[in-house]
Amino acid sequence: MSTDSPLFDRIRISPRGNKAKENAVPTCEFPGCTNPGTYKAPKGRQHEGRYWHFCLTHVREYNAAYNYFEGMTDEAVQAYQKDSLIGHRPTWTMGSSNSKNRKNGSDVPERDWAYSDPLGILKDAQLRAQAAKQPEVKQRVIPGTVRRALETLDLDETADAQTIRVTYKRMVKKFHPDAHGGDRAFEERLREIIKAHAVLKAAGFC
C-alpha cells in the first residue's frame, strides 16, 4: 500500500506546536548579551530550584563571584551548615525533655493518624509484652507429707513460716495436758501436731 493513500493522511500525527518551543534555546540573561543562554546558574539562597540562563562567558563570571551565604553572619553560616547534616529537619535528643510533645506533654510525638484494631491483635501483643516484663513467680512444690502436715495444723498451702510457727505454739498450748488439768485425752492430737511441725521444719517451711 502506498503511503500517499488518504488513509495514511487521516492517521498521521501532526507535529506538536510546542515542540519547537521546547527545543528553543533561551537568550543569555546577562544585561546586553544576546548569545544563547545554554548554561544554568542558581539564583541563590531563598530561590532554590530557580536558575539564570547564561552563555559560557557570563556563567563563568557569575560562578566565580557566586556566594550562597552572602549577607549571613558567621554564626548563621555555622548554624546552617550544622542543620544541613540532618537535612534542616527538627530532631529530639533521646531521653531529653525537649522531645516532649507540646500538646500532650508526653515523650511520644503526637501522631496525626489513627489506626483500627477490630480483632484486638495489637492489644493481645501488648498484653503479652507486659506479661513478659513481669517477674516470674515461682510456685513452691507441696509434697503430700507437707500437705497433710499443714492440714493437721488447720493451715493451707499459702501459710508462711511465721504463720506456721504461731499456729503451732497456739495449738500446743491448747492441747497440752496442763491446759486440761493433767487430762491426757488430747495427747494423741498433741503428738500429731508435734509430728506435723517436725515435718514442716524438715521441709524448710518454718
Give the residue, 180 or 1, on which the prediction is more confident: 180
User: At residue 187, does pLDDT exceed 80?
Assistant: yes
Which residue has cell 537568550? 27
pTM, two decimals, is 0.35
| Residues with Cβ within 8 Å of residue 58, at least 6 apart in sequence | 28, 30, 33
Calpha distance 173→58 (Å, rounded): 114
Q: What percent of the chain has pLDDT over 90?
A: 27
Nearest to 205 by CA among 167, 161, 139: 161
For residue 69, pLDDT over 60 is answered with yes
Domains and CATH numbers, the chain: 24-88 (no CATH), 144-202 (1.10.287.110)
Of residues 70 and 86, the one with the higher pLDDT is 70
Beta bridge partners of 51: 42
What is the SS3 assignment for 40? Answer: strand
Single-letter code of the amino acid located at 96: S
Q: Dump pLDDT digits (tens) for 114-155.
A: 667 777 777 777 777 777 777 665 666 788 899 999 999 999
